[in-house]
Amino acid sequence: MTGTITPGAYLKRCRQRAGLSIADVAARVATEPQTSEHQRGKWLELIEADAAPASFRTVVALRLAYRFDLTVLAQLEAIAQGADILAPFLCRICACSKNDRCMDPKGDECCWVEPDLCSACATPPAASVVE
């Protein structure tokens, strides 16, 4: 990816890629102590806006609700904390990575058509030019 997205923006794009709304995820994630789905939804919105931290327990709960690459999330968090490391290569639209590929409309794993664009997000669908 040419620019670095925040950890919250990454989680949001992965949730959207899974076709889930905030309410969908709030219904799937349990909290301790128990809170209402509405409160969980507000909390998830704060996490996706990088206005509230996601604990390890929260990350695990979110990972059970939808797919994302834990390594990518850790890299993005390290960058957000000032680490001088390379940003992971992500699709600029859906935030998939080479280790967490999304599916195209035919059900095949995507491939890279540009350095920051996967074949599933290319319009019209394109052939692979970058592996």
User: Which pLDDT value is given to residue 123?
Assistant: 76
Cβ atoms < 10 Å from Cβ of 34: 8
Type of residue found at 54: A
> What is the pTM (predicted TM-score) of this model?
0.84
Instruction: Check pLDDT > 70 for residue 40.
Output: yes
51-110 confidence digits (pLDDT tens): 999 999 999 999 999 999 999 999 999 999 999 999 999 999 999 998 888 887 788 889
- Looking at the chain, the whole-number percentage of residues with pLDDT higher than 70 is 92
